[in-house]
Structure 1
């Protein structure tokens, strides 16, 4: 999950020495930097999987400073994704011009190009001027031809990776309280009912506002943070994006989702039409209606996805445990899933 630009300056340099050396080497190649050693380290709040820092150097002209981003990998996150796969995805996305360039790597993190754009806020997600830009960018993202296997990762990750990990980390009382023993069959039932000729694309799988940036001048959208990215049904990615509109991770209750903010039917239809037509071909009502129907169903899978993520996060020493009530997020996702199930969604 991405960082929101709400910085807190650290009095002492919290970076590993090897990262500091690489940063000084990078800055020494910039002729406008007065002193490569005079770096300023600013912690960016809101990152849930890593620690993220903005690094600044004053320039000789004293105008715009040079900046890069340092990402220190969170402890315990290997239970969620393969870090080497994520780095390969990052490098490939960079080559596609889809995100920041990779400037350097060290044993516990990496250094990225600083994108001069603002991270979106929770309110931006439903802004009628911004949401269409996200829809078009998401279609472009899904159409990327990424290396590696193009098989769906959703179900195996839920069933064999996250569910097994949750069972291993939880006490027997917690396993029973969260009904973890019943989830394997529920995941399999969803897979049986949802996997049928659905369009597959390269999905972000975590399209919340902190992972979307916008250049205010050009209005161009950049999607960042690819830890969870993989090939999946595109309906799952859109479903997750709609659910994220109900979240505000910078409120006093970041673990509670407010479904009064969930996009209404017309809003969802508009997003789908823009998504489908952004590639140049005009979408028809039948195609849009089918995709919207698929999205509604994959909402259930999205709740399972982040529900399991939440309970595992409460057990591993990652940044999220400090900033978001992980178990609370699990419970609110489960409640949302039950409400969706009870609302009569036919799958």
Structure 2
């Protein structure tokens, strides 16, 4: 499919893969029209990968979020982390289990294709080759069967960046519609109808909420376990706030 580097060897806890030419995107280059078009092409090719019927039984958003929820710590190792967690999640009486149940019910009420998704298309996981004007995706750690729109909505959320994310940078309605129009023309291999585009555009916010919730609980786990110098707790709070902003309108 030409979507990732070739795998040359596998061994315990690792692989050897080929080298891909290109540079990682950033929050500015990801919006360039020719790059948007290349992303739409690559994403459509990935989503068209044939899968066995039994593989589409449950979208990964449910099982993976469940795994993270089951591992959200009861306490944090430093007073600062614990105080900050309490100041937001405890004082605001956040019930992550109830949130997940409500989100799951909303998602299950929608009719969206289940396809093979990357599930983590942040700008650093997209390489752009200026010579071939093509993109390749890297870091397939979270790749799995999932709602088609989760992959797209999650990518939109990543327009805001990771360090000090600014979600005002995410696509507006017109930009979202333009992206969906391009994407569907490649995925369907013909021009989509206006109704097809509109249905997907209307559902995007709920999948953006799902993405925010997913990475929020992921970050709460990482805040306990990761050795990387990054404020996972603050990131988790920010993503949860975005989740609430969207879901409270549903």
> What TM-score comes out, normalization by structure 1 length?
0.64
Aligned mate of 1:190, from 80, 99, 103? 103
Are the counterparts in 2 of residues 175 and 181 from structure 1 also a CA contact under 8 Å? no
Runs of 4+ in 1 over 6 A off after TM superposition: none
Q: Distance in 1 between matches of 2:8 and 2:213?
A: 36
Alpha-carbon displacement from aligned partner over 1:300-329 (angstroms, at most 9, x marks no partner): 1111100011111111134xx32x311111
Q: Which runs of 5+ in 2 are unaligned?
A: none
* Superposed displacement of residue 110, structure 1: 2.4
Q: Which runs of 5+ in 1 are unaligned?
A: 1-95
Structure with higher helix content = 2
* Superposed displacement of residue 144, structure 1: 1.0
Instruction: Give 1:93-112 correspondences, 5 Å limit.
Output: 96-112=1-17
Alpha-carbon displacement from aligned partner over 1:22-72 (angstroms, at most 9, x marks no partner): xxxxxxxxxxxxxxxxxxxxxxxxxxxxxxxxxxxxxxxxxxxxxxxxxxx
The alignment status of 1:132 with 2:33, answered yes or no, reads no
Q: Distance in 2 between matches of 1:99 and 1:267?
A: 27
Match of 1:315, SS?
helix
Match of 2:130, SS?
coil
Instruction: Give 1:220-235 correspondences, 5 Å limit.
Output: 220-235=134-149
* Superposed displacement of residue 146, structure 1: 4.3
Are the counterparts in 2 of residues 246 and 258 from structure 1 also a CA contact under 8 Å? yes
Q: Distance in 1 between matches of 2:114 and 2:86?
A: 33
Aligned to 2:195: 286
Alpha-carbon displacement from aligned partner over 1:320-343 (angstroms, at most 9, x marks no partner): x32x3111110110121222234x
Change (3 A) 1:146 1:213: farther
How many aligned residue pairs are there?
239
Change (3 A) 1:283 1:112: same
The alignment status of 1:165 with 2:165, answered yes or no, reads no
The alignment status of 1:178 with 2:89, answered yes or no, reads yes
Match of 1:149, SS?
helix
Change (3 A) 1:341 1:115: same
Match of 1:213, SS?
strand
Aligned mate of 2:206, from 274, 284, 297? 297
* Rg larger in structure: 1
Alpha-carbon displacement from aligned partner over 1:196-230 (angstroms, at most 9, x marks no partner): 32111111110111111122111111111111111
Match of 1:191, SS?
helix
Q: CA RMSD in A?
A: 2.2
